[in-house]
Amino acid sequence: MRQTLSGHSLDIDSLLTLPNNQLASSSWDTSIRIWNTTTGRHVRTLSGHTDKVYALVLLKNGFLASCSQDCTIRVWNYREGRLVRSITDYNWIFVLAVLDNGELASGGADTPIKIWNPNDGSLVRILNGHYNYILSLVVLPNNRLASGSKDATIRIWDTTNGLLKHTLIGHTDEVLSICLLPNGHLVSSSKDTTIKIWAKKNTDDWELERNLTEHTDTVMSLAYLQNGNLISGSFVGTFKIWKLKKD
């Protein structure tokens, strides 16, 4: 272990790498902390949220956006430690994704996905189609957005007009994480203990290609590794590394 960064008092829910060897962390203690990863030094704390902070993203303009159980999205100039803007919704917000045009998608403890203009806080568009909480978002090429939900489905959206383009059905419980592979395929993980790989046939046509069933508990998170493998983390604290490419 190289170093330990200590400062949060409750669970850490999100980490985000920043330019200049910095790291942002968000916590159930309501704070966001900025760290220097070279020295391990705590640079500053961003305070303003009043409940658990679930997710962090870096906006196209270089500002940091956070979402919280306090029903707000907050935009920060993290270099100066200054709150730029607060966007208020009416329910808990769990996930954020930055679209290619700079707009900000959010999902949470209600069924719509909302797209915001982070520069003025205005609501641009609402995507309706899920029947339960939104738990994961990932941006796809061609102005598409994939969302995973507690309703056990993954939905593909056209973000330019809000239209639902495809629904991926296969999981039997909530979809907690979605990962985009370099070949354009999607990987999803679920409370049903499985990982599914969805093959992209064209812009709006997907089919189930592989079903990975070696986990025995909820699969919480996914990440694609630089060596071409996939790593998954489960609720019981185990990681599994999957070889995606065939010899």
Quick one: pLDDT at residue 16?
Answer: 94
The CA distances from residue 3 to 40, 78, 160, 193, in Å, are 7, 23, 44, 32
Quick one: pLDDT at residue 244?
Answer: 85
User: What is the C-alpha to C-alpha distance for residues 16 and 170, in angstroms, rounded to an integer?
Assistant: 30
What would the pLDDT profile of 1-56 be if each residue is shown by its tens digit? 577 888 899 998 999 999 999 999 999 999 999 999 999 999 999 999 999 999 99
Which band of pLDDT confidence, cut at 50, 70 and 90, is reported for residue 242? Answer: very high
Phi, psi of 121 (to 5 degrees): 80, 10
What would the pLDDT profile of 68-95 be if each residue is shown by its tens digit? 999 999 999 999 999 999 999 999 999 9
Instruction: Report how far Cα 54 is from the mean position of its chain's Cα atoms.
Output: 9
The CA distances from residue 86 to 15, 68, 76, 82, 177, in Å, are 21, 11, 9, 12, 26
What would the pLDDT profile of 164-201 be if each residue is shown by its tens digit? 999 999 999 999 999 999 999 999 999 999 999 999 88
DSSP 71: S
User: Can you tell me whether residue 67 is helix, strand or coil?
Assistant: strand
